[in-house]
Amino acid sequence: MVWPPELEVDGEDVPLADHAAVVTFRPSFDVETVADNARMERELEEVAHFKQQYEVYKAIQDVIHKHGIWVFRPSDAAAELDKALSKSVPDGIADIRQDMERIINRLKRMEEQAGSGGEETT
């Protein structure tokens, strides 16, 4: 950029300091500055796009963690999510069902022992 800036009056460049009238201000930008500006604008758009993708990823991770799915490697995230969504019964309910089946089996054994005259065990 040329300093001091120049004005164009009747086709001639006149230094701003030599002319009191405000005419057309013609800044001079070099090609390198324009190219740098365009490159930085592209990079800024890429960063903004990445930020949007990250916010979506973070929201999905929060939902996954809320439902007890913990992924330690990003490459396993889709497989773990698929596995969790494919279950017909959630883990907690499956565990309760197994505990109840054990209790029923124990009660049956206790009834059998009581019917056969044996001692009850707990």
Q: Count of CB atoms within 10 A of residue 6's CB?
A: 20
Phi, psi (5° rounding) for residue 81? -65, -45
- Which residues lie below 8 Å from residue 6, measured CB to CB, with a gap of 6+? 13, 14, 15, 16, 26, 28
Q: What is the pLDDT of residue 1?
A: 47
* 99-116 residue pLDDT tens: 999 999 999 999 999 888
* 45-82 residue pLDDT tens: 999 999 999 999 889 888 888 887 777 777 777 888 88
Token duo for residue 85: 């969504």
Q: What is the pLDDT of residue 64?
A: 83
Say what the pTM is.
0.42
